[in-house]
Amino acid sequence: MSIYKSSSVLNKVLEKILPPALTHLIGDLEEELQENLEIHSAFKAHVLFWFRFVKSVPYLLYESFKWNIIMIFNYLKVAIRNIKKYKVFSAINILGLAASLSVCLLIILFIYDQKSYDRFHEDRDRIYRVTTDFKSQGNLSSHRYATSPANLSEILREEYPSIEEVTIIRRRISGEAGANGKVIRVNGLYTDPGFFDVFSFQMVSGNPETALQYPGSIVLSKETAVKFFGEENPIGKAFNVTGRGDFTITGVVDTDVRTHISFDVLASYSTQLADEEYKSIYIDNWRNSFYSSYTYFKLRERRSVTELTDHFPGLISSKYDATEESYISEFIIQPLSQISMGDTMDNQLGSVMPREPLFFLLGFAGIIIFVACFNYVGLTVARSLSRGKEVGVRKALGANKGSVMKQFLIEASVISICSFVFALALLYYLLPEFNNLQFVRMELSRKVSVDFIQDFEIYIGFIVFTLFVGLIAGLFPALHLSSLKSAVVLKGLENIKGLSRSYIRKALVVVQFAFSVMFVITAIVLNKQFNHLVNSDYGFEQESIIHLELQDVPFDRVKDVLTRNADIESISGTSIVPGLNSRRDRTVTSDFIDYNTRANHFSIDENYLENMKLELIAGRNFSPELGTDLHGPMIVSERTVEQLGFENPLNAIGRYVHFADSIYPVIGVVEDFVSSDVTGEKEAVIIQYQPDWIETASIRVLPGKTTDVFGFIQEEWASLGSIYEVDATVYSEELKGAFSLALFTDMIKMVRVAALFSIMISCLGLFGMAMFNAESRTKEIGIRKVLGAGNKDIVVLLSKEYAVLIGIAIALGIPCTYLLNNLLLQDIANRVVLTPSLFLAGTVITAALAMLTVGSQSIRAALADSVDNLKSE
């Protein structure tokens, strides 16, 4: 239409936005304008024209609305017809998209769930937390803590007028609590009355103004109150927390809300302030007090946090000396909404989901959704030949580029909505698996984790996302097909070069399989690494060991009772259990080095080394008979010998370890063993003879008697007179469930799903492509066979192209996999070697699946009757 010109910009605009069915209306407007231009001045003509237009707006709106509705229904009808007509292609696209959508929906649910934390606070947009950046140990590596110095809250309250309310929360009041004749373990926090001003926790009974005002006050959560007192009103009753003293209950608070601040009890902060000695060491000292105090504040309305941050550097320099080895370098203000899935920090208050697992999930989901979208793009573009004719006819009948695009986009949306239904069904199976992942179970505390939420908005979110994916998938095919010129397409499709864009299809297949190879190999490598970790030599014997937590029972008593069982070989005790991320890091040094180093501290009895089969390579074991070993000399590990600058284990005997303002002679050296993290290094260890510090009994049983003894311990526990439930575990099981291994298992599970989905979707796509290819070459195959080609030749002919593509994909995928796996495993000390055989295994699996897919279609085409083939048109 460009050969004609419009006299007004408005008409050009209308031409673009109004449906083609209304051109005659624009024509009327244009003609009237032209006539007016002849009889009136240009200005008047245009004024009249605009006047006419304004009067016509209601009608134009009505008509275009009507036409758009009509067209959408038409597009829908055509879309559904096309889906029905090309059943295999539709099924491939719908299944592929459904698989990837289900993963995405899961992540949306997960984010939604995380974002639902702490949304019940009235002024949540104005609530912030002060976090601390701590530079330590002279190496200037900075460390974020969620905590801040205790006295900061006082300063914020008094010196910063832009702050409305401040509260301090201090960890931690925990231990067995006694009240109303019951003893139950509780976990809680210290806080001040500001807690109820900043946050919107509701008190069921008691006065929020005064409940946490005075020393010795305690507020119970509703749950805790019911546990101790049932339906009785607990206000004014006595509440004793072992080691923390007597409290009076001043209130009950409703904790049935989603929040990162979890507690059974809240004790008044003034209780801590009332203890002069404690106060001077742990609160007034700006260096000591920041590890366990949290400062939350509520900003006044329409104030900015920069008013605070501008003053912080001055405050810091008045309290800390930046020339020291370790110091606080910055206070960073963190909005309440960014605590969950926020920056990674140490000493978080309660359960907070870090951001990293989410990045992993997002990465996997992103790749899978692209692999599925590639299927749609590839298959739709491949069908350009048949769809091109349709476009040609539509355009000849007056459709413009926009309406053809709309048609293809709507088709893609219909496909995506179909897959949404399947995705929901898949999600139903994925969800329990996801909730079982260690990081989800651990971080989401005791509340219900991700679930099908009843909220309506999440489903709207799902559908919006689904449509978005549909549009992304449909965009390229829509652009490609709508740009076909009707005259050219209708004349003869075969002559048009690049109509089916074969290079794009090939590139898509390569990318899909490169990702598939990557996931499959990674899954194999991680699996191998996991087995390697589980079966590797930790330096101690883990078989036939049962651990029993002593809790409130003395070690000697446990020993007396259990030695009666003949199946028990020996009993020993330790303060911490190796390999379970237990860590008592201590600073140590010696005369041979001029810096501090760190070592994991164990308190054990004289049988522990023998019991755990820890080999002494120099010196002697602890011996109670000597009478001098108690709380004195040390046994160290080889690693410690090295780090403290002692030349060798033999030389180390008799040398001194500087530790906790005192010096201790080394009497023995043990072989290195994994002392804390099974995925980490065998760290430096110092061991002292301190039977009174034992927390866990380590029981060695005769081989094959584990179950019997386990039952025996359960039975005997009652006779030990503990107020607690028995807590016994089989060590080898415990190690498999160790924290870092569990996280590793999570990763393996996620990569496995990613590998499965990615290869499944890619093969589906390849299947469609090979089928299409074989179909479009039916005649060629017929002629070849008539001229004497064998079935084998046909199969090779049809499969060759794909074999090359898969080859390229593998060649691209392997280096990426190598880099990815090095990255994933970099923090693991005891790493598997990335041998070629691992890569070969993954490559063979992927290639075999791909060729099986292609081969099945090629063979089918080759076996078809050649006469039928030639008849077909």
The residues that touch another protein, with contacts defined as CB under 8 A, are 1, 3-7, 11, 23-28, 30-32, 34, 52, 55-56, 58-60, 62
Q: How many residues does the chain have?
A: 873
* Shortest spacing between CB 464 and another protein, in angstroms: 35
Closer to another protein by Cβ: residue 24 or 87 = 24
d(CA 78, CA 414): 11
- Nearer to another protein by Cβ, of 58 and 432: the residue is 58
Between 60 and 593, name the residue whose CB sits nearer to another protein: 60
Least distance CB 484 / another protein (angstroms): 23
* Complex with another protein: residue 25 or 493, whichever CB lies closer: 25
Do β-strands 203-205 and 293-299 pair in parallel, antiparallel, or remain unpaired? unpaired
Closest contact distance (angstroms) between CB of 18 and another protein is: 11
The answer to whether residues 509 and 766 touch, using CB atoms and an 8 Å cutoff, is yes
Instruction: Label the pairing between strands 163-179 and 238-241.
Output: antiparallel
Q: Which residues contact 422 (CB under 8 A, 6 or more apart)?
A: 94, 95, 98, 102
CB-facing half-sphere around the CA of 771: CA atoms within 13 A = 14
Q: Which residue has 């999600």 as its token pair?
A: 427
Q: Which is nearer to another protein, 61 or 274 (CB)?
A: 61
Output the furthest CA–CA distance in the chain (Å, rounded): 125
Buried b (16+ CB within 10 A) or exposed e, 416-451: bebbbebbbebbeebbeebeebbbbeebbbeeebbe
CB 214 within 8 Å of CB 142? no
Peptide bond into 157 cis (omega under 30): no
Rounded to a whole number of angstroms, the minimum distance from the CB of residue 367 to another protein is 49
Output 28 or 780, the one with its CB closest to another protein: 28
Shortest CB 13 distance to another protein, Å: 13
Please, what is the minimum distance in Å from the beta carbon of residue 8 to another protein? Answer: 9
Structure tokens at 222: 């509703």
- Min CB(855)–another protein separation in Å: 55
With beta carbons less than 8 A apart as the criterion, state whether 333 and 163 touch: no
Q: Which CB atom, from 25 or from 841, has the smaller least distance to another protein? A: 25
- Closest to another protein by CB, 36 vs 778, is 36
* CA separation for the pair 768, 799 (Å, rounded): 13
Q: Could you tell me the smallest distance in angstroms from the CB atom of residue 489 to another protein?
A: 23
Amino acid at position 582, single letter: S
> Closest approach of Cβ 49 to another protein, in Å?
12
Least separation in angstroms between CB 45 and another protein = 14
Cα torsion 203, 209, 214, 215 to 10°: value is: 40
Least Cβ distance, residue 15 to another protein (angstroms)? 8
- Using left for φ > 0, alpha for ψ between -120 and 50, and beta otherwise, residue 170 falls in beta
Output 1 or 566, the one with its CB closest to another protein. 1
In whole angstroms, the minimum distance from the beta carbon of 56 to another protein comes to: 4
| Residues 308/274, Cβ–Cβ less than 8 Å | no
Closest approach of another protein to the CB of residue 508, in Å:
41
* Residue placing its CB nearer to another protein in the complex, 11 or 419: 11
> How near is the Cβ of 71 to another protein at its closest, in Å?
18
Which residue, 36 or 384, has its beta carbon nearer to another protein?
Answer: 36
Rounded Cα distance, 836 and 824, in Å: 18
Nearer to another protein, 34 or 651 (CB): 34
The three-point CA angle 279-255-337 to 5° equals 80
Residue 482 Cβ vs another protein, minimum distance, rounded to whole Å: 22
- Cβ 808 to another protein shortest distance, Å: 50
User: With contact defined as beta carbons under 8 Å apart, do 821 and 525 qualify?
Assistant: yes
DSSP calls for 496-554? STTTT-HHHHHHHHHHHHHHHHHHHHHHHHHHHHHHHHHHS--SS--TTEEEEE-TTS-
Q: Closer to another protein at the Cβ: 25 or 561?
A: 25
Structure tokens at 830: 């005891």
> Is the Cβ of residue 33 or residue 253 nearer to another protein in the bound state?
33
| Smaller CB separation from another protein, 27 or 654 | 27
58 vs 314, which CB is nearer to another protein? 58
| Helix, strand, coil tally for the chain in percent (to 5) | 55, 15, 30
Least Å from the CB of residue 42 to another protein: 16
Residues 262 and 253: their CA atoms lie apart, in Å, by 12
Query: Which residues fall within 8 angstroms of residue 253, CB to CB, at 6 or more apart?
Result: 201, 202, 203, 204, 206, 219, 220, 221, 222, 266
Give Cα 175 distance to the centre of its chain: 32
55 vs 564, which CB is nearer to another protein? 55
Residue entry with tokens 């007597």 = 246
Three-state SS for 252?
strand
Question: Which has the closest alpha carbon to 634: 661, 658, 607?
Answer: 658
Tell me, what amino acid is at 560?
D
CB 735 within 8 A of CB 673: no
**DSSP result, 284-317:** S-TTTTTSSEEEEEEEPTT--THHHHTTHHHHHH
Residue type (1 letter), 604: I
Q: Which is nearer to another protein, 51 or 428 (CB)?
A: 51
CB of residue 61 to another protein, shortest distance in Å: 10
Which residues lie closer than 8 Å to 538 by C-beta, 6 or more apart? 578, 579, 673, 674, 678, 735
Report the 10 Å Cβ neighbour count for 668: 20
